[in-house]
Chains A and B, each alone.
Chain A
Amino acid sequence: MNVSVEQGSAQALIERGIARYVSGELPASEADFVAALKLEPDNSHARACLDWVRRLQKDEALAQVDVGAEKAAASSDWKLTPLTPARSGLTRPGMPSLRQTRSEDGARTDPSLSAFGELPVAPSSSVTDALSFETPGNPPADPSLLGSIEDVVSESARTGTFVRTARPSHGSGEWHRVPTAPNLMPLDVPELDEAALEGLVSIDTGVIRDRKLPLSAMPELHLPGDEPLVIEAETEDHLEPLRHVAIEFEEPPGTDPFMRGPGQEVQKGEFLAEQHRTASYTAQAIREALEERDLARGVALTGDLFRLAGGAEEVHHRAHRPLLDSLFTAVLGPLSGIPHHGRLYAELDPRSAFLLSRIDGVLSIEDLIDISGMPRLEALKVLCGLVLRGAVVLE
């Protein structure tokens, strides 16, 4: 990728780094972030980007994922490549995202997805994929599952092309922006088959009109207001890969990600789509709590974040890690500190009680994490809860 940058601008270097990262040029991307940090050593965005890129490059598991992805691709409609631009996960404020939900070839646990902390894809027979496309002539089996999104593929009489239109239908009139961490976040949209994408005419988000953009370079698209997302392709076949791409629309705040309305539970496919942006929203809420020194609220919110990110172990590998580290350090102080029993508590959950039972006045916080039998972040969260409730005091 040949992108020139403004001399001496860390921000320009970061942007170029991101662009290179998106196009899969990881070493070049890393060099840009390093250069940005030289100019601005305190730039947390550059630091987070660098950490992420380095981690990606170092992660041996990715090599295995590559193999797994190739195998999956052989039996699938599209090619999966873990370090593709589509999976690069650049998030932009207020952008709904396009992402894969699943193929129709039955049960498949996509190793590339798992490696990025996604939930494994369940057999399609047992999960209704609410946000998948349905081809013309094959309408959704249960229209109610499409819920707030009207998603139609039709043949345009005007241009002779095939069009996919997705439109928010709950009528809020205003999409709320998703606050986004200033970090790179791994998204899980696989690279679509380039040949298929060549046939795309345009992706119209209401902001970017009439531009032929490779979908793979746009893991998230901005859809302001109640503008529809329109993807136009030369033939219906060119839309075929997109049958497996879910669209995430932001819902108004206060919407329970698990419940659409009374008695209408959101299906798993939709939950996967919901999950990512709600995690970002929660992360922002944690950041605000930390800034306001409302540590109890921050710690309470981490539970939601773990749930949305697929568990504490998954968050461990994600970009929220530095945020959580800051929060936990604010509560616990140095991890070399020695916790002691505080006052007795009438109500505890079994995990808190277990951690409490490990405290002996000798083991440090770091030791406790090691022996907790829980993922590191989970153990820290539980310990923070105990400290904030006074059940544990720190030396």
Chain B
Amino acid sequence: MSDRVIGIDLGTTNSCVAIVENGTPVVIPNKGGYKTTPSMVAIMESGKRLCGHIAKRQAITNAEHTVYAAKRLIGRKWGSPAVRQTMEQASYKIIEGPHDDVRIELRSHSYSIPEISAYILQEMKSIAEEYLGGTVDKAVVTVPAYFNDGQRQATKDAGRIAGLDVIRIINEPTAAALAYGFGKQLERKIAVFDLGGGTFDISILELGNGVFEVISTAGDTFLGGEDFDRRLIDWLVFGFQKEHQIDLRKDKMALQRLKDVAEKAKCELSTSREADINLPFIISKGSEALHLQRTVTREKLEELTSDLVDRTISICRNTLIEADIEKSAIEDVILVGGMTRMPKIQEVVAAFFGVEPCKGVHPDEVVALGAAIQGSALIERESDVLLLDVTPHSLGIMIQGGYFHSLIPQNTTVPTQTSHVYTTVKDNQTSVKILVLQGESERAEDNELLGEFILSGLRRAAKGAVDIEVTFEISADGIVSVSAKDLENGQKQAITVTATSGLTEEEIRQMVQESRDYLVDQKANEAFEKQKQAAEKLIDEMQTLFPRVETAIAGADFGQDAIKKARSLMERAQKAIAMHDVPTLGDATESLGRTLNMFRGVIAKTKA
């Protein structure tokens, strides 16, 4: 078991992993040198799983079997509006799970959302392990501030399936603020403006005395960088169609190339005034191959996406109004997400809040860095960062009139306990139904139902004459217990509410096992491929040497034997490759190596 804790920003579109090394938080690049990895998973016809950049590069040509933005679905109930909305847009098949949860069907196999997220977490884990040269099994994972218990639990389950012990789930804006305030003692209100690839979130936080409190959070789970890309793609497509009467969107390969190039051009326009788009041989018209060549300016991109930019500001405005916070109260604005590199975004954010956004933190990395800082603080006793778990939402019960009465307010530090006395609403009422809810709405129906129970055997009396004490308790592990007690006769009922991700314990255990098996198979395949490459290289070299060896030693009996033996070894290796026989291949490769050395020696002597 290693004591290293990685911080993972499990994003809707991209994910990022970081660690604190010698007191400094650093982002870990992946094999391709990128510091973020697309949160995409694809299943190939062969059953092979692709994750990250490689999955993204085939996302359009293999759209039905490529999952993106699984985060929009994690921990959601089948009937939820977010699921419906995702279903309208997703190219993959979303189906109902056995526990009113959501599943994704890929190549006739049903995957739970935590499983899909686990594949991404596993990828991040392996990026970290490759960088650190050892195993990593603990992580702090970030989630949006609005995630409820079920979504947080599902994220934790994803970590477990990926072979990670998620020691803490923290809010993304909190992580960003933590990275921003790392090494500083700040006491102020800040805004975290997070425009990622697929979602937009605005959060207002109060920083003080080492406490990071999310005062208000809002956003749009269907607004992000991909919408900006799409606008650029549409512009390119229409231009091409006007010129050649061909709709490039109908050709998957052309569309995939367009998508890639549009994203690149968009990024380039953050630093340049214009970008050249050049897609040679993009499609054929008769026997002629056509090229797409356009120049796009920053102004054009801004014109194409102005309504999207306006939407972000409109959400910011509403959030401040709802939270009753003056714009002038915001002292700093932290930009999070790659899209915030767009100059226009920075300009409108500065204009709206009246302060220049902080540029000292990297928008793609800040959340992962914050998670790594928290992870480090959790295992280092000498750390001066005090981190407390808080309740993401208010907890309470439904009262007369369908209203929600909160007993534990949002952002209360856990563990905590609180009680409140209620009374009956009817004469001779002998039982009362307690509905345990979570949320911020005054209307009970708008909040999430966590559980319910009935307290019966109440004393018969006039309405308002019976006192019932309801107690909420949240343990350090986040387990919520609710009890109701008739204060006169001592009659008591209680329930324990545990967050559920939509998966049973048995299902999670099975997924953990499958995930381990997959890794074992993958490693075995890698070992075979490595061995195969080595053998093929030796065979190749041997074949090149044969004519010279034959000339040098064929005259002797020994020479004939050696050549015969070498040929037989080559055949043995080839057979072992065909049969996937790793041990035999290993032996044959070793012998081939020795024979090759011997041949090299013979040739060298002959030369001499």
Contact = CB atoms under 8 A, between A and B. Distances in A.
A350 B282 contact: yes
Given A350-B282, A363-B54, A371 B61 contact: yes
Contacts of A363: 54, 57
Contacts of B93: none
A300 interface: no
B578 to A, nearest CB: 8
A5 interface: no
A42 B532 CA distance: 19
B61 A336 contact: no
B31 interface: yes
B533 to A, nearest CB: 5
A334 B32 contact: no
Contacts of A358: 57
Contacts of B54: 363, 367, 370-371
> When A and B form their complex, which 10 residue pairs have the shortest distance between CB atoms, in order from nearest?
A373-B61, A371-B58, A353-B281, A354-B253, A348-B281, A362-B32, A371-B57, A334-B536, A334-B533, A350-B283
Interface string B508-552: 000000000000000000000100110010001000000000000
B280 A373 contact: no
Interface stretch (B219-227, B254-262, B295-303, B368-376): B254-262
A6 interface: no
A347 interface: yes
A350 B32 contact: no
Nearest to B261: A357
A371 B252 CA distance: 12
A78 to B, nearest CB: 33
Nearest to A337: B533
Contacts of B44: 370
B257 A373 contact: no
Sort chain B's interface into a size bin: 20 to 34
Contacts of A348: 280-281, 289
5 contacts: A334-B536, A336-B532, A349-B289, A350-B284, A353-B289
A281 B187 CA distance: 81
Interface of B: 31-32, 44, 48, 50, 53-54, 57-58, 60-62, 251-254, 256-257, 260, 279-284, 289, 529, 532-533, 536, 540, 571, 575
Contact of B260 (A352, A357, A372): A357
Given A348-B280, A348-B281, A371-B57, 16 more contacts: A42-B571, A334-B532, A336-B533, A351-B253, A353-B289, A357-B260, A358-B57, A360-B32, A362-B31, A363-B57, A370-B44, A371-B50, A371-B62, A372-B61, A373-B60, A373-B62
Contacts of A350: 251, 253-254, 281-284, 289
A333 interface: yes
Nearest to B283: A350
Contacts of A370: 44, 48, 50, 54, 58
Interface of A: 41-42, 333-334, 336, 347-354, 357-358, 360, 362-363, 367, 370-373
B281 A333 contact: no
A358 B284 CA distance: 19
B257 to A, nearest CB: 5
Most chain A CB atoms below 10 A, which of B50, B54, B279 = B54
Contacts of B289: 347-350, 353
Nearest to A375: B45
A367 B55 CA distance: 10
Nearest to B575: A41
A353 B256 CA distance: 12
Contacts of A351: 253
B48 A336 contact: no
A334 B536 CA distance: 7
B536 A373 contact: no
B522 to A, nearest CB: 13
